[in-house]
Amino acid sequence: MNQRRKFDQEYKVEAVRLAELHGVKKASESLGIDKSMLYQWRKALNEEGADAFRGNGNRTALEQENRRLRLEVRRLQEEAEILKKASAYFAKHLK
């Protein structure tokens, strides 16, 4: 049974660079990988740039910022709700 090979980000970027210099067919033969894999890597690199090949579960910088902001909004909404309840309590008991 063939074991699935894993390639890190640096390897993929260098493979794409090699394919650009020498062509996809020659690069895939010399690296021992399928041409379609190089095409996928090249597409990902062109579309995502520095965020390409970040691995499973790792977020892009934009996704990380979005998540951080959503958490901040949730926290602020909870604080506002607490302040609203507190002001209603004090308004009721200070009369």
- C-alpha span between 21 and 18 (Å, rounded): 5
Give the mean pLDDT of 3-7: 84
Give the mean pLDDT of 8-35: 93
50-89 burial: b if 16+ Cβ within 10 Å, else e = eebbeeeeeeeeeeeeeeeeeeeeeeeeeeeeeeeeeeee
Whether the per-residue pLDDT at 86 is higher than 80: the answer is yes
Give the mean pLDDT of 37-62: 83
Whether the per-residue pLDDT at 29 is higher than 90: the answer is yes
- Per-residue confidence (pLDDT) for residue 14, from 0 to 100: 93
What's the mean per-residue pLDDT of the chain? Answer: 89
Q: Are 31 and 53 in contact (CB under 8 A)?
A: no
Q: Are 28 and 19 in contact (CB under 8 A)?
A: yes
Q: How confident is the model at residue 4 (pLDDT cuts 50, 70, 90)?
A: confident
The three-state secondary structure class of 20 is helix
Which pTM was predicted? 0.57
